[in-house]
């Protein structure tokens, strides 16, 4: 039986061991004092699920090609593919990313290309999400308190009881209608903080296409990574 490559990450916040499978591979997250000898039995137990998920990830990557982070490569951005042009400037401390038409021009300093692009996506996410969020709460007649941009591996967005909104910058790798859906989803949580039938009814009244968008995220979400 072929071994499945994986990496282990200890987390002080983890209460139990869990397995994450996405476009970056297989990661086993364990509590700080979790015995490493128990990792292999856990992987054997979950192997059928891991293999199914890896096949689904590979199918999604063929249908929705992942970013190619290199000079001459490309990255997806809200439904278009942007070419990458890199110019190394070793004397530069911070990299600069500029979009001109369909090309991202990167003056690369001491950062890696991935870090430079992630910083650019985070800045753009604040703009793209902020505009959509402001419009959505205006239509809903409600309000939020703060907006933060993060890069979680397992969550696209969240809405706290105080109205604090958090969105994953990787949503900008998806088509624009997916970002629209996630924004509407979180705005609906301002009125319905759970996932009761009342929440889904409210969401459907504001965004009737939510089922198709949710299916797309489930099918292709693992590919939305830099």
Q: With beta carbons less than 8 A apart as the criterion, state whether 88 and 71 touch.
A: no
Q: Do 138 and 92 share a structural domain?
A: yes
Task: Report which of 217, 124, 123, 129 is spatially closest to residue 174, judged by C-alpha positions.
Answer: 217
Q: Do 58 and 169 share a structural domain?
A: no
Q: Do 127 and 20 share a structural domain?
A: no
pLDDT at position 196 is 93
Residues ≥6 apart with Cβ < 8 Å to 144: 133, 137, 159, 163, 164, 165, 187, 190
Tell me the pairing of strands 7-11 and 25-31: parallel
Q: Is 97 strand, coil or helix?
A: strand
How far from chain centre, in Å, is Cα 145? 22
Q: Where are the beta strands (DSSP E) in 89-220?
A: 96-100, 103-108, 146-150, 157-159, 164-168
Q: Do 93 and 40 share a structural domain?
A: no
Residue 13: is its pLDDT beyond 80? yes
Q: Do 195 and 92 share a structural domain?
A: yes
pTM higher than 0.75, yes or no? yes
Q: Do 123 and 11 share a structural domain?
A: no
Q: Do 81 and 54 share a structural domain?
A: no
Domain membership flag for residue 32: yes
pLDDT confidence band for 1 (50 / 70 / 90): low
Q: Do 186 and 108 share a structural domain?
A: yes
Name the domain count of the chain.
2
* Sign of the alpha-carbon torsion through 117, 118, 119, 123: positive
Rounded Cα gap, residues 125 and 121, in angstroms: 6
Rounded Cα gap, residues 86 and 82, in angstroms: 13
Domain membership flag for residue 1: no
pLDDT digits (tens, 9 = 90+) for 111-164: 899 999 999 999 999 999 999 999 999 999 999 999 999 998 778 999 999 999
Structural domain containing residue 144? 74-223
Q: Do 59 and 79 share a structural domain?
A: no
């Amino acid at each position: 039986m072929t071994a499945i490559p994986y990496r282990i990450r200890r987390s002080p916040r983890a209460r139990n061991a869990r397995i994450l499978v996405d476009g970056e591979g297989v990661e086993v997250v364990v509590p700080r004092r979790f015995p490493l000898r128990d990792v292999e039995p856990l992987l054997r137990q979950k192997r059928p699920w891991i293999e199914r998920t890896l096949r689904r990830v590979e199918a999604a990557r063929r249908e929705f090609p992942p970013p190619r982070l290199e000079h001459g490569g490309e990255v997806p951005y809200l439904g278009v593919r942007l070419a990458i042009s890199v110019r190394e400037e070793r004397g530069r401390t911070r990299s600069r990313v500029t979009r001109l038409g369909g090309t991202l021009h990167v003056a690369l300093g001491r950062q890696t290309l991935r870090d430079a692009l992630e910083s650019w996506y985070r800045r753009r996410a604040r703009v793209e999400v902020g505009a959509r969020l402001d419009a959505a709460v205006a239509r809903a007649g409600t309000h939020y308190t703060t907006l933060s941009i993060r890069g979680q591996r397992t969550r696209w967005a969240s809405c706290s009881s105080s109205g604090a909104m958090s969105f994953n910058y990787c949503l900008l790798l998806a088509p624009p209608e997916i970002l629209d859906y996630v924004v509407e989803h979180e705005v609906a949580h301002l009125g319905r903080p759970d996932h009761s039938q009342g929440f889904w009814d409210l969401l459907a009244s504001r965004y009737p296409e939510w089922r198709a968008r949710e299916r797309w995220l489930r099918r292709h979400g693992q590919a939305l990574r830099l």
